Amino acid sequence: MLSPAIRIKTVLIVTLLCTTVNYSSGMQVLSKRLFLIFVNGKVGYIDKTGKIIVEPQYLDSWGFHEGLARVRTSDKWGYIDETGAMVIKEQFSLADDFSDGLARVEINGKYGYIDKTGKLVITPQFDRDAWGFDEGLARVKVRGKYGYIDKTGKVIIQPQYDYAYGFSNGLAAVYSDSRWYYINKAGKKVFDSPTAYASTFVDGMAIIETNEGVRGYIDTTGKVVIPPQYYRAMPFSEGFAAASTSVGDGYIDKTGRMVIKEQFVFGHQFSEGLAAVRVGNKWGYIDRTGKMVIEPQFEEAGEFSNGLASVQSKDGNDLKFGYIDRTGQYIWKPSR
């Protein structure tokens, strides 16, 4: 089990990624009703008012996805619903979040998929490189190559790629024969990546990267809409993306115009009109004009969801994890 400090930071990062996007998979649906908390090293859930809905009792949990959360009280994983009821008993060696109605689980060293009743709908047969479903397809690795299966386990696109990402906007980035390109759900190549690296589409745009590590963006037709010019560039969210041409992050719009000047050590994606930014060694929040609306004071800061954002603060040498509202007031004071 991870130490509390590492565990808290990991959950904060995972929460941040999952509420936006993970390059290696598509969007995931997080609960807008319940929020993960730590009390004396145990995990539970609160609602947006700070009321405890699921008592802290679990060794591990990673947030609600599509109405269910994976939890464990020992070395086996199960799933609870938003009332805290155990709807799929703890039985799996490893378990993932639900995506597109199915979740990957491990049984006897192989991975398969269950539905929300806990029924195995795809028999465990894959090694670790089997991923969640995005837009009805999941990428799996068979004999060293990646392909895609549907929700019945049928191979839709034969394993043939050295690497592959999940589908988004009907397209997936794949790597084969020393180049990146995009395919559709029939497995047909739609267009090549114009640069050495490709990524998943988010908000209609995908990050591309040159051999020199300079980033730009393409649209879903493969057209370069923002030429590579950034040394750091993040996915678009709410029409803006954090990007840097020098030593600090600013924010660009979908034309590439720098709408909030480069001034932050790092910037996260916008969510519910606010974005977490780092100034010095502390994190605060700006609005879409670039105005600092919550002063930098946190060790780490996540994105807003249903009016709350996860933040980290220090208590001596300890890191604690809490939630603030849009005014910066604590709804759940930091705990661990």
Return the higher-pLDDT residue of 332 and 247. 332
pLDDT in tens, 15-65: 333 333 333 333 334 556 899 999 999 999 999 999 999 999 999 999 999
pLDDT in tens, 119-139: 999 999 998 889 999 999 999
pLDDT in tens, 247-263: 899 999 999 999 999 99
**So where are the chain's domains?**
21-124
Give the C-alpha separation, 200 to 6, whole Å.
28
Tally: H helices and E strands in the chain? 1, 34
Check residue 32 and give its pLDDT: 66
Would you say domain 21-124 falls under CATH 3.40.50.300?
no
Give the C-alpha separation, 97 to 99, whole Å.
6
Give the C-alpha separation, 101 to 134, whole Å.
10
Alpha helical stretches, state H, the chain = 4-18
* Lowest mean pLDDT segment, chosen from 22-26, 272-276, 302-306, 315-319: 22-26
Q: Please state whether the predicted TM-score (pTM) of the whole model is above 0.75.
A: yes
pLDDT in tens, 217-241: 999 999 999 999 999 999 999 999 9
